[in-house]
Chain A
Amino acid sequence: MDTKKLNLTNIPKEKFALAGEDRRITDTKFETKPVGYFKDAFNRFKKNKSSLVAAIIILLLFLYALIVPFFSNYNVNFRDGYYKMLLPKSKIFSFLGWDGCSWYTVSQAGYDSYSAIGYEYGSSAVRKVEEPIVEEGTGKTYYKIYLDSYEKVGFAYVDLTEDEFEALKDYQNRTGIQVCYPIPENYKMSYQSVANSANLWYKLADTSSTTTGAALNHDADGNPIFENNYIVKESQTYGRYDSLRIAGDDGGKNGKSWYVYSIKNQTGYRVRVLYSAYYKYKNGFEANHLFGTNQHGQDIFVCLAVGARLSFLLAIAVSILNFFIGVSYGSVEGYYGGAIDLILERISDILSSVPFIVVATLFQLHLANKVGAVPSLLFAFVLTGWIGIAHRVRTQFYRFKNSEYVLAARTLGARDSRLIFRHVLPNSLGTIITGTVLIIPGVIFSESMLTYLGIVNLETSGLTSIGTMLSNGQAYLSTYPHIIAFPAVFISLLEISFNLFGNGLRDAFNPSLRGAEE
């Protein structure tokens, strides 16, 4: 009998034969394509129009943050002393009022001085004027003018060294673009009513006062009549100026008196330049700020993109780290239960009770000098951020770990890791992914709040943050609301979109809604 004993562990292949080979199979193959979990969720997500729009908006904002800093003329370090607080200006959409201009009400002197800007080269900072208002009692006239914030800067005195002056003259000769303009008599006085006194090139009504820019003569309508007040010298090369001259500067009556374009000082030459032309000469491009500039002359369009990029990267890093920590922590808690669960729950309880602002501050105080402000903020977010995800995962484990299919797998000899990662975890993937994605808007909000309050300072060379921009703009809320408006609108749009997107994601991943669409 023992010779007939079968070797059951090693049955030769040829001993096997297909049973019921000639039986007819009546069921047909599925015509439809199989739909996986993610595909199914995506299909459901697509039906939710508002979430889809939100997702597209998020994508656009993300692309804006990612791409703009690479293709812009400006960067965060770019500052300009004259082009401060410029209003938003778009070349394409200028007809919508997005033209860098705004309405001001000014006195006669203000009207004169603003009208004078640009007059020398046939333009004007004042784009539109409404009928003047005469104040009763005092008889003073006020004008409502539509002022171009770029043109308003007008002229400036710049101090150049010998070489810089030569280069500027060379540029003028080469391109034929007039940058230097004649220096007026009153260049030494400082006028408070006008941003810089280089714009007072005409004959003033009152040369002793330093507070008014009123012109000497006015016509019957009250409009100023400008008469130039340039310094005149009998030398054509006074101040070693031998470059382009403005029209009308032809040597005066006797061919002997020319305007002065530069004055020598200790370090080199003081020149009166048309700032927009000088800006182009210096930077190689014309000033155009889509979102305007702030009080440091930084371009808001680029600063916002750089700040948003930082926020996005920080938030994504935080959510990825939270995902891994939360999933492993929650799995261990939920799967093993008992004493391990109790101890781990206590730890996460304690951590979650620490106010976040305390964590952020302590990390900032201890780590910011060692690893930098951004990593220490990242650690602060991660320290308590994973608890929510761990909690979700733990709950899911308690729900599924005793179900029959897990028991079956365990009976078949599956190891703990296989049970956790292959059998239980995929069940809770939907809620975990939703939770992970929704960490992003939370982190962006907290980061902007901390930087706004000045608890965390992320402003280093080449970096800025939305919160810093908001706190910069707050001082100018009443006068230049655009500085604060763009970051505020950006972050609002982002948070709204993320909320809608998160709702859609939750509905898409929640299988209990399957087939229940309206």
Chain B
Amino acid sequence: MLKYVIKRILLMILTFLVIMTMCFVLIKLLPLPAVKEQGRDVQLVLQRREAMGYNKPILTQYMLYWRHILLYGDFGVGEQLYVGQEVTGIMLTKIPYSIVVNLYSILIAIPLGLFLGIYAALKKNKWQDHVVSTVVMLFYSVPSYVYAFLVQYILCFKTGWFPLTAASREVAGFFSWTMFRSMVPAVVSLAFGTIASLTRFTRAELAEVLTGDYLLLARTKGLTRNQAITRHAMRNAMVPILPMILGEFIGILGGSLIIESIFSIPGIGNLYVTSIQVRDYNFFMADTFFYTLLGLVAGLVVDLSYGFIDPRIKMGQR
């Protein structure tokens, strides 16, 4: 087991290095964007470029780049966006927004999704199941931005119940009522998608488990339906569901590109989109670093969690 985990981690690091190297080289092949004139910041940016070895061979630059990241956690300074400010610092101020929005949304979505999924599976092929499945199919298919527009139109414009943009941390704390209220539209829009996919997944898993022979056996030996479902069916159905929920929890760090854009939440996803739009390569690289690492770690944790959740699954065996 331990050997397998170490092997997976090493493979992950290798994959990560390859991806980052490719991105680094591809970004370095592009012409350097001119620095906008903004007083002494320009000098600062130019000095930092010099320090990062911008005139030296690409291999030296690459070494310097990793050295700065590993030793000082330094991704350079903003060149088009937040000119002259540390990329790492800016990113650290952005991540909490993404975490808060996503946290609220999955705290709503996970219980609801699980409940609906279980309900639909237990009522399989009855009208309740059809209703839930149809609604879930709609929300699963419709692109997230469409119901984000709808939510924005109804909650922000038509009724005016919620403000259009997220509150800033200077005005209100992250877990204050003002912040929560300003984030409700985004939270709702994010939750729809998660609820839909979780319901779908839970229903499919539980419905499959419910047809198992051991459930018939459990009923035959005298368990009530409720006992059989909670003690046997649920526990087995949870094996693939729990890793999925775990993945959602890791995913809250990454935020959402499109929802953050629509509701102007100053999170990490919004920063990523803006950095691409204005061609700030330092931010782009740092964000890519973050997202790639997040994706790899989430994948690894989800894979490994199967082994911990279900002792029958032996890791690393073919």
Contacts and interface: CB of A to CB of B under 8 A. Distances in A.
Contacts of B138: 496
Given A353-B296, A358-B288, A481-B153, A452 B30 contact: no
B15 A358 contact: no
Contact of B143 (A353, A453, A481, A495): A495
Given A355-B292, A358-B292, A448 B143 contact: yes
Interface of A: 349-350, 353-355, 357-358, 361-362, 365-366, 441, 445, 448-449, 452-455, 470, 474, 477-478, 481, 484, 488, 491-492, 495-496, 498-500
Nearest to B134: A50
A353 B149 contact: no
Interface in B167-182: none
A470 B142 contact: no
20 contacts: A350-B18, A353-B296, A354-B19, A355-B295, A357-B276, A358-B292, A362-B23, A362-B26, A365-B26, A365-B279, A366-B30, A445-B143, A470-B145, A484-B149, A488-B146, A488-B149, A491-B146, A492-B141, A492-B146, A496-B142
B272 interface: yes
Contacts of B104: none
| Residue among B149, B157, B272, B288 with most chain A CB within 10 A | B149
A477 B146 CA distance: 12
B276 A361 contact: yes
Contacts of B201: none
A8 B64 CA distance: 77
Nearest to A445: B143
Contacts of A492: 141-143, 146
A358 B296 CA distance: 14
B159 to A, nearest CB: 12
Tell me the interface secondary structure of chain A in the complex.
helix
B282 interface: no
A350 B19 contact: yes
Contact of A477 (B23, B142, B157, B291): B157
**Main DSSP-derived SS at the B contact region:** helix
Given A349-B15, A484-B149, A454 B277 contact: yes
Contacts of B11: 349
Given A449-B143, A474-B262, 20 more contacts: A353-B19, A353-B292, A355-B292, A357-B257, A361-B276, A361-B284, A362-B23, A365-B30, A366-B26, A366-B29, A441-B141, A445-B143, A449-B257, A449-B258, A455-B277, A481-B153, A488-B150, A492-B141, A492-B146, A496-B142
B258 A355 contact: no
Nearest to B17: A350
B15 to A, nearest CB: 5
B246 interface: no
B137 interface: yes
Interface residues of B, number: 41
B189 interface: no
A355 B262 CA distance: 21
A496 B137 contact: yes
Interface string B271-297: 011001101000010001001100110
A478 B145 CA distance: 16
B145 A452 contact: yes
Contacts of A353: 15-16, 19, 292, 295-296, 299
Contacts of B295: 353, 355
B140 interface: yes
B213 to A, nearest CB: 18
**Most chain B CB within a 10 A radius of its CB, from A350, A355, A492:** A355
B317 to A, nearest CB: 16
A496 B143 CA distance: 9
B61 interface: no
B67 to A, nearest CB: 23
Nearest to A351: B19
Residue in B16, B18, B146 whose Cβ sees the most chain A Cβ within 10 Å = B146
A453 B273 contact: yes
Nearest to A490: B146
Contacts of B141: 441, 492, 495-496, 498-499
Nearest to B125: A518
A452 B145 CA distance: 9
Interface string B7-42: 000010001101100110011011000000000000
Contacts of A445: 143
A355 B273 CA distance: 13
Contacts of A470: 145, 149
B261 interface: yes
B202 interface: no
B194 interface: no
B152 interface: yes
Nearest to B292: A355
A455 B263 CA distance: 18
Contacts of B156: 478
B190 to A, nearest CB: 15
A403 B239 CA distance: 31
